[in-house]
Amino acid sequence: MSIELNHTIVPARDPQASARFLADILGLSVDPPLAHFTPVTLANHVSLDYDRADEFESHHYAFMVSDEEFDAALARIQSGGITHYGDPACREVGEVYRSRHVEGRRGTYFRDPNGHLMEILTRGGTAS
């Protein structure tokens, strides 16, 4: 049997709004509710199942996207007035990073409404 990640739970104060935020950035749709979860399913069939929580620590979620998807998502981030960063410490405001380890890889970080650190990154070329 091949082992695959099926889903992960994302804590959120407003699961529907949080799922919609991410789906809008990534150009995806929000799936119908599954029990009390609000899922967003990615192309590899892994779902992020948003669940209501009042208190939680922020998490980091990274999404591998094509160059075209990256450009489209970045445009939605910028047009939505969402601050994005070139580093995970969120100091390089408005920046896109270029990997020193993978030629052609670009990425950026942004916070969702719950403070989770989201990252979009491109595949790039081969590791150097």
**Biggest alpha carbon–alpha carbon distance for the chain:** 45
The residue to which tokens 């091949």 are assigned: 2
Pairing type for strands 84-85 and 106-111 reads antiparallel
For residue 103, tell me if it sits in a domain.
yes
Whether 128 is in a domain gets the answer no
How many structural domains are present in the chain?
1
CATH code of the domain in which 91 resides? 3.10.180.10
pTM beyond 0.75, yes or no: yes
Question: For residue 24, which phi and psi values (nearest 5 degrees)?
Answer: -65, -45
Residue 109 lies in a domain: yes
Expressed as residue numbers, the domain containing 115 is 7-122
Tokens representing 71? 């450009």
Question: Other CB atoms closer than 10 Å to residue 4's CB: what's the count?
Answer: 8
Domain assignment present for 47: yes
Question: How confident is the model at residue 15, as a pLDDT?
Answer: 97
pLDDT of residue 128: 45
Which pLDDT tens digits describe the chain residue by residue (128 residues)? 789 999 999 999 999 999 999 999 999 999 999 999 999 999 999 999 999 999 999 999 999 999 999 999 999 999 999 999 999 999 999 999 998 778 889 999 999 999 999 999 999 875 44
Q: What is the pLDDT of residue 122?
A: 96
Q: Quick check: is 127 in a domain?
A: no
